[in-house]
Amino acid sequence: MKIDVLTLFPAMFAGPLDESIIKRARAVGLLDVKIHNLRDWAHDRHKTVDDRPFGGGPGMLLKPEPLFAAIEDLRRKNTRVILLSPAGRKFEQAIARELAGQKQLLLVTGHYEGFDERVREKLADDELSIGDYVLTNGALPAMVVIDAVARLLPGVLGDDESSQDESFSSGRPGLEYPQYTRPAEFRGMKVPEMLLSGHHAEIEKWRREQAKRRTKERRPDLIK
Greatest extent of the chain over all pairs of C-alpha atoms, in Å: 71
Q: Which amino acid is at 137?
A: N
Who contacts 141 (Cβ-Cβ below 8 Å, separation ≥6)?
A: 84, 91, 109, 128, 129, 130, 135
Mean pLDDT per block of 10 residues along the chain (224 residues) reads 97 94 95 98 94 92 96 97 95 97 97 92 97 94 98 86 56 81 96 96 96 94 82
Residue-level pLDDT at 120 = 95
∠ CA 150-154-157, nearest 5°, is 65
Q: Do 43 and 65 meet the contact criterion of CB atoms below 8 Å apart?
A: yes
- Bond into 16 cis (ω within 30): no
CA distance to 53, 85, 146, 181, 198, per residue, from 193 (Å)? 63, 47, 39, 13, 10
Residue-level pLDDT at 113 = 86
Who contacts 194 (Cβ-Cβ below 8 Å, separation ≥6)?
A: 202, 203, 206
Residue-level pLDDT at 57 = 87
The CATH number corresponding to 2-150 among 3.30.210.10, 3.40.1280.10, 3.40.980.10, 2.60.120.590 equals: 3.40.1280.10
For the chain, the domains span 2-150, 166-222
Q: Do 71 and 40 meet the contact criterion of CB atoms below 8 Å apart?
A: no
The CATH number corresponding to 166-222 among 3.90.1150.10, 1.10.3720.10, 1.10.10.1100, 1.10.1270.20 equals: 1.10.1270.20
Residue-level pLDDT at 222 = 87
∠ CA 33-126-131, nearest 5°, is 85
Alpha-carbon span 178 to 170, nearest angstrom: 18
Q: Which amino acid is at 55?
A: G
